[in-house]
Structure 1
Amino acid sequence: MRRRDQRLMLVSAAAAVLVVAVTLTIFGLRSSVVYFVAPSDLAEKAQAGHRLRLGGLVVDGTYRTDEAGVHFFHVTDGQTEVEVRYDGVLPDLFREGQGVVCEGQYTPGQAFVAERVLAKHDENYMPREVAEALKQRGEWKGASPP
């Protein structure tokens, strides 16, 4: 076999390995991607079995806990409210009227089932997408969003 043919085979094999590696990486990452949505976008972006991050403000007067210790509250972006169900320990900074991000799954017609709840860490923090959605609707009450 000539040197030129050997180089061609080596480059072809390397390209094939690279294509396989990139394909496996993309398929592996696709299952771990979590999209962020506001409550008003939830109905059109939610797909059965896909994880989402729902962000907004906790609606005043909606927080309750049932006898089993499951937490229920509503999250809004100023236009739409979504009920959230969370079975776990809420963060210390969780309050009604404050920003929150809930990670979990949504089925239309049911409550958003959160597996993780993240509360804001100081009075200036709000996820950029939530702040922009609130500002567009005239609901933003803070300084300019980050």
Structure 2
Amino acid sequence: MADERPAWLPDGNDIETSFNLEIGIISPSMRGPWFDFNKVVDSDTTNFKYLVDEIVDKFSCGYGDVVKLFYFCADSKSNIEIHSDQDLMNMFAKHKTSKCCRMSIAYHKPDVDPPEIPLWDNVEIPCTPSMPDPSYVEPSKATQLGTVT
């Protein structure tokens, strides 16, 4: 029996401890309501502070913004805020079977309420193929004969 590796799992990563994080960034300063990306992490070596720092370094927030991290719990149909390494470990434990965690990170100014975090069940992912269908151009009689008009 062959060991089936998920397509999202990079070579060399342990399937037992790796998780695919589907992360959506929500910020009032963004053009659209949502920006999403995927990140594969090892639950044995990932900690809360470094995960947040890595995301903020790659997708910077505004000066002085507050950053909050949430995960979607399918059982309670709610977004649960992550404050610590223990909360992160609880998230991994709840998603041990699926190996996929849906997360949201919210950026906002300290003097305003945080943006509303949409429930992942209600988020419509737009269908935008990464590669368009190739178009095949039929040669015309002019190009076949070597004449251009």
Above 0.5 in TM-score?
no
TM-score bucket of the superposed structures, by smaller chain: under 0.3
Of structures 1 and 2, the one with the larger relative CO (CA 8 A, separation 6+) is 2
Greater helix fraction, Structure 1 or Structure 2: 1
